[in-house]
Every structure is written in structure tokens, then in C-alpha cells.
């Protein structure tokens, strides 16, 4: 379980960091409004939301590493999987990324988040599966 916890921690850090360097704003691209003001594109908000998801995922990973009980590991697996699903949904359904396929958020940020989200979902489900049954049954 320590390995799954470590996977959660590593992916959580990457989920928080990768968008900071791969959204369009990091490449110096912003939307210019009619009045001349410059505003962030939606990939930037996806990146910030991912940072918000990465923090609880980091905590879940940490708890998973030190957790001794099957029930708590199972619950942490479910929470981790759910957070992984949010990682997947933010750049696809909930907020999205820019339209232009040449933008870094489309070619790098979105696929990275989808890959990491999928890894977290599968690892979380793996933790649930490996901790199935109660402590008494195992004994």
C-alpha cells in the first residue's frame, strides 16, 4: 500500500505543478478584450483547479502510506479514485482547455492531466481491491 500511497503523492505533486508550466499563460498567451485588457484563458483556470485537487490528493497519498487498517486504506482508495476522476474531468468536461490544437495546454497539459488522472483512478481502485474484506476476515 505504501507504493500506491507514493504513487498518489508523486502524481499529486505533478498534477499541481505541470499546469503551471504548460498552460497558455505560462507561454505568454492571454486573451485581449475589446477594451485592451488582458485576461487568462480557461486553461489557466483548469490549472488552478487542478492545484486545488492536488492538495487533497497529496494528503490522501500521505495517509495511505502510513495507514495500518484495511478499512481506512479502502476508504482512502475510494477518495483517491474520486479525486483522480476530478483530475480527468477538469480539462475535459468541467472547465476545459483552449480550442486551438497548437496551444501548449492542448498538446501537453491536457494529455498529461488525463494520463495522471487515469493512473490515480486505477491506483485508487487497485487499493480498494487489494484491501477488500475486513480485518477480522484477513486474520
Cα 96 from chain centre: 14
Q: How far is the CB of 3 from another protein (least distance, A)?
A: 5
What lies within 8 Å, CB to CB, of 37 at 6+ separation is none
Q: What is the rounded CA–CA span in Å between residue 82 and residue 73? A: 14
Q: How far is the CB of 56 from another protein (least distance, A)?
A: 23
Query: Rule CB under 8 A: is residue 118 a binding residue for another protein?
Result: yes
Binder of another protein out of 20, 107, 125, 128 (CB under 8 A): 107
Residue with smaller CB distance to another protein, 55 or 111: 111
Residue 71: count of CB within 10 angstroms of its CB: 12
Tell me the CB-side half-sphere exposure of residue 117, using CA atoms within 13 A.
20
Binder of another protein out of 41, 57, 106, 127 (CB under 8 A): 106
Query: Rule CB under 8 A: is residue 111 a binding residue for another protein?
Result: yes
Record the cell numbers describing residue 1, joined without a space: 500500500
Q: How far is the CB of 109 from another protein (least distance, A)?
A: 11
Record the cell numbers describing residue 17, joined without a space: 505543478
Q: How far is the CB of 105 from another protein (least distance, A)?
A: 12
Residues contributing to the site for another protein (CB under 8 A) = 2-3, 101, 106-108, 110-112, 114-115, 118-119, 122
Amino acid at each position: 500500500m505504501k507504493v500506491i500511497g507514493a504513487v498518489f503523492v508523486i502524481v499529486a505533486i505533478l498534477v499541481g505543478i505541470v499546469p503551471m508550466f504548460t498552460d497558455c499563460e505560462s507561454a505568454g498567451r492571454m486573451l485581449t478584450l475589446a477594451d485592451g485588457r488582458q485576461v487568462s484563458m480557461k486553461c489557466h483556470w483548469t490549472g488552478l483547479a487542478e492545484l486545488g485537487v492536488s492538495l487533497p490528493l497529496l494528503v490522501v497519498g500521505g495517509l495511505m502510506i502510513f495507514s495500518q487498517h484495511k478499512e481506512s486504506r479502502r476508504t482512502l482508495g475510494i477518495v483517491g479514485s474520486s479525486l483522480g476522476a476530478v483530475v480527468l474531468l477538469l480539462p475535459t468536461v468541467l472547465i476545459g482547455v483552449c480550442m486551438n490544437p497548437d496551444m501548449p495546454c492542448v498538446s501537453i497539459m491536457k494529455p498529461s492531466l488525463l494520463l495522471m488522472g487515469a493512473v490515480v483512478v486505477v491506483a485508487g481502485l487497485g487499493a480498494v481491491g487489494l484491501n477488500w474484506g475486513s480485518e477480522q476476515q484477513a486474520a
